Structure 1
Amino acid sequence: MTTQPNNSIRQRLKKPLWLLLLLCVASWLTFLILDRIWPLPVESFEQRHFAQVVVDKDGLPLRAFADDNGVWRYPTTVDQVSPLYIEALINYEDRYFYRHFGINPFSIVRAAWQRLTEGRYVSGASTLTMQVARIMQNHDKTLRGKVGQMFRALQLEWHYSKTEILNYYLNYAPFGGPLEGVEAAAHAYLGKPAAQLSHAEAALLAVMPQAPSLYRPDRYPERAQQARDKVLNRLAAYKVWSQQTVQEARQETVYAQYKTQPMTAALLARQLRGQYPDRSLIQTTIDRDLQTELEWLAKDYAENSGEALSVAVMVVDNESMAVTAYLGSADFFSDSRAGQVDMIQAVRSPGSTLKPFIYGLALDQGLIHSQSLLFDVPTSFDGYRPHNFSEYFSGPVSASEALLRSLNMPAVQLLDAIGPEPFYASMHNAGLNLQLPGQAQPNLSMALGGGGVNMAELMQVFSALGRQGQAGFLRYLPEQQLVERPLLSDGAAWIVQDILAQGHLKKRLYHDDLTGSRDLAFKTGTSYGGRDAWAIGVNSAYTIGVWVGRPDGAFVSDNTGRLAAVPLLRQVHGMLPKNTESNPPPPSVQLTTICWPLGTAINLQKPGDCHRKKQAYTLNNMTPPTRHDGLINPLQKPRLTVTLNEKGERVTPQCHDGQTRQQQITVWPAVLEPWLPQRWHREQLLPEFAEDCQLWHNQNRLEIVGIHPDATLYPEAGSLQLPSIELKVAGSTGQHYWFLNDQLIRNHQSTVQLDNLTPGHYQLRVIDQSAQQASLDFQVAM
Structure 2
Amino acid sequence: MSLQRRLALAAALGALLLADQLFPPPLPGRAAPHAQVVVARDGTPLRAFPDRAHIWRHPVRVDEVSPRYVEALVAYEDRFFWWHPGVNPFALLRAAGQWAINGHIVSGGSTLTMQVARILEPTPHTLPGKLRQIARALQLELRLPKSEILELYLSFAPMGGVLEGVEAASRAYLGKPAKRLTESEAALLTVLPQAPSLLRPDRYPQRAQQARDKVLARLESRWGAAVVADARQEPVIAQTVREPLLAPLFAERLRRQRPRERRIDTTLDAGVQSTVEQMLASRLVVLPPRVSMAALVVDNATLEVRAYAGSADFTDSARFSHVDMVQAARSPGSTLKPFLYGLALDEGLIHSESLLADVPQSFAGYQPGNFQANFSGPVSVSEALQSSLNVPAVEVLDRLGPQRFVALLRRGGLKLELPRGAAPNLSVILGGAAVDLEGLVGAYTALARGGVSGKPRYLPDAPQEDARMMSEGAAFIIREVLESGGPLARTIENGVGARRGIAWKTGTSFGFRDAWAVGVSDRYTVGVWVGRPDGTPNPGFFGANIASPLLVDIFSAIDDGLPLPRTPPASVAPAKICWPLGLLAQAVPPELCHQERSAWILNGTAPPTFPDRLRGGSARYTDYRDAASGLRVRANCAAGEMRAVDMARWPAALEPWLNAATRRQALPPSWAPACSGAQAPEGGLKIVGISDGETIRRAGNGPAPELRLEARGGQAELVWLVDGRQVGRVPANRALLQKFAEAGRYRITVMDDAGRFDRVEISVR
TM-score, with length taken from structure 2: 0.90
Which is further off, 357-366 or 20-29? 20-29
Distance in 2, matches of 1:634 and 1:518, equals 46
The answer to whether the 8 Å contact 1:506/1:512 transfers is no
- Corresponding residue for residue 88 of structure 1: 72
Paired residues of 2:412 and 2:470 also in contact (CA < 8 A): no
Match of 1:386 among 368, 378, 395: 368
- Provide the rounded CA distance (Å) in 1 between the counterparts of 2:483 and 2:85: 71
Equivalent residues in 2 for 1:513-552, closer than 5 Å: 514-552=496-534
Residue 396 of structure 1, CA deviation: 0.7
* Separation of aligned partners in 2, 1:20 and 1:235: 51
Query: 3-state SS of the aligned residue for 2:46?
Result: strand
Deviations 1:685-713 (A, max 9, x none): 42553331124448993232542525677
Give 1:624-773 correspondences, 5 Å limit: 624-629=607-612, 631-635=613-617, 637-643=618-624, 650-652=632-634, 655=637, 663-681=645-663, 685-697=667-679, 701-704=683-686, 706-710=688-692, 725=708, 727-730=710-713, 732-733=714-715, 735-755=717-737, 757-758=739-740, 763-773=747-757
The reply on whether 1:173 has 2:173 as its aligned counterpart is no
Match of 2:490 among 495, 508, 513: 508
The one-letter code matched in structure 1 to 2:601 is T
1:355 aligns with 2:330: no
Aligned residue for 1:294?
Answer: 276
Match of 2:434 in 1: 452
Once the two structures are TM-superposed, the CA of residue 734 in structure 1 deviates from its matched residue by: 5.3
Letter in 2 for 1:564: I
Identify the residue that residue 324 of structure 1 maps to in structure 2. 306
Q: 2:575 aligns with which of 570, 592, 600?
A: 592
Aligned match of 1:496: 478
1:714-769 C-alpha deviation (Å, 9 max, x unpaired):
999xx989767462322x45553332443324435222322363566654422233
Deviations 1:562-602 (A, max 9, x none): 11112212211210232322223223222212221222121
Asked if 1:153 is matched to 2:137, the reply is yes
Answering whether residue 13 of structure 2 is matched by residue 32 of structure 1, we say no
2:604 matched to which residue of 1?
621
Cα distance change, pair 461–540 in 1 and its aligned pair in 2 (3 A):
same
Aligned letter for 2:619?
A: P
1:14 match? none
Instruction: Pick which of 351-360 and 735-744 moved more.
Output: 735-744
1:244-263 equivalences under 5 Å are 244-259=226-241, 261-263=243-245
Determine what percentage of the aligned residue pairs are the same residue.
44
Asked whether 1:221 is paired with 2:205, we answer yes
Query: What is the rounded CA distance, in whole Å, between the counterparts of 1:91 and 1:271 in structure 2?
Result: 42
CA distance in 1, matches of 2:17, 2:732: 106
Match in the other structure for 1:107: 91
> Secondary structure in 2 aligned to 1:752?
coil
Residue range with higher mean Cα deviation, 537-546 or 257-266:
257-266
Displacement after TM superposition at 1:81 (Å)? 4.0
Structure 2 gaps of 5+ residues are none
Aligned to 2:589: 606
Residue 118 (structure 2) pairs with residue 134 (structure 1): yes
Contact conserved, 1:72 with 1:260, CA < 8 A, in 2? no
Shift of 1:681: 2.2
Per-residue CA distance 1:334-367 (angstroms, 9 max, x = gap): 1222222212111111111111111111222222
Residue range with higher mean Cα deviation, 278-287 or 30-39 = 30-39
CA distance in 1, matches of 2:210, 2:134: 30
2:194 is matched with which residue?
Answer: 210
Q: Alpha carbons of 1:115 and 1:438: their partners in 2 closer, same or farther (altered >3 Å)?
A: closer
The aligned amino acid for 2:297 is: V
Q: CA RMSD in A?
A: 3.3
| Cα distance in 1 between the residues matched to 2:715 and 2:10 | 115
Query: Which deviates more from structure 2 when the two are superposed, residues 241-250 or residues 548-557?
Result: 241-250
Q: Is the 8 A contact 1:667 1:680 kept in 2?
A: no
- The 3 A distance-change label for structure 1 pair 724 and 372 is closer
Q: Quote the Cα distance in structure 2 between the aligned partners of 1:288 and 1:644.
A: 75
Q: Any idea what the Cα deviations from partners look like across 1:150-198, whole Å, max 9, x if unmatched? A: 3443444455544444344333322222223333333333344444444
* TM-score, normalisation: structure 1: 0.89
Describe the SS at the equivalent of 2:241.
Answer: coil
Rounded to whole Å, the distance in 2 between the matches of 1:504 and 1:414 is 19
1:726·1:751 contact (CA, 8 Å) conserved in 2? no
Determine the C-alpha separation between the residues in 1 that align with 2:638 and 2:532: 68
Say if 2:513 and 2:536, in contact at 8 Å, map to a contact too.
Answer: yes
Contact map agreement 1:740 1:764 (CA 8 A) in 2: yes
Per-residue CA deviation, residues 448-485 of structure 1 (Å, 9 max, x unaligned), is 11111111111011111111111121011111222221
Moved more, 347-356 or 497-506: 497-506
Secondary structure in 1 aligned to 2:676?
helix
Matches within 5 A, 1:327-338: 327-338=309-320
Deviation at 1:431, TM superposition (A): 2.2
Change (3 A) 1:143 1:19: farther
3-state SS of paired residue (1:415):
helix
Letter in 2 for 1:289: G
Match of 2:322 in 1: 340
Please state how far the C-alpha of 1:143 moved relative to its aligned partner: 3.2
- Give the Cα–Cα distance (whole angstroms) in 2 for the partners of residues 377 and 117 of structure 1: 102
- Superposition deviation, residue 125 in structure 1: 1.4
Contact 2:26 2:121 (C-alpha < 8 Å) held by counterparts: no
Residue 53 (structure 1) shift: 0.8
Looking at CA atoms only, which structure, 1 or 2, has the larger radius of gyration?
Answer: 1
Alpha-carbon spacing, 1:248–1:472, altered in 2? closer, same or farther (3 Å): farther
Shift in alpha-carbon separation, 1:427–1:511, aligned structure 2, 3 A? farther
Q: Which runs of 5+ in 1 are unaligned?
A: 1-16
Q: Distance in 2 between matches of 1:469 and 1:541?
A: 15
Alpha-carbon distance in 2 for matches of 1:715, 1:577: 57
User: Which segment drifts farther, 39-48 or 438-447?
Assistant: 39-48
Residues 373 and 596 in structure 1, CA contact (< 8 A), matched pair in contact too:
yes
> What is the aligned partner in structure 1 of residue 184 from structure 2?
200
Q: Once the 2 structures are TM-superposed, how far is the Cα of residue 683 of structure 1 from its aligned partner? A: 8.4
Match of 1:423 among 405, 414, 422: 405
Q: Which residue of 1 aligns with 2:53?
A: 69
Determine the C-alpha separation between the residues in 1 that align with 2:622 and 2:64: 82
Question: What is the aligned counterpart of 2:566 among 578, 583, 587?
Answer: 583
SS of the equivalent of 1:755 reads strand
Aligned residue among 135, 143, 150 for 2:127: 143
- Which string of whole-angstrom CA distances, capped at 9 and with x for unpartnered residues, describes residues 612-650 of structure 1? 221112123222222235x33114x53223345676753
Contact 1:503-1:518 within 8 A present in 2 as well: no
2:567 is matched by which residue type in structure 1? P
Provide the C-alpha distance between the structure 1 equivalents of 2:94 and 2:312, rounded to a whole number of angstroms. Answer: 62
Shift of 1:385: 0.9
Tell me the amino acid that sits aligned with residue 518 of structure 2: I
CA-CA distance at 1:667 after TM superposition: 3.5
**Counterpart amino acid of residue 189 in structure 2:** L
Measure the CA separation in 2 of the matches of 1:734 and 1:204.
86
Moved more, 749-758 or 289-298: 749-758
In 1: Cα distance, 2:24 partner to 2:571 partner = 72
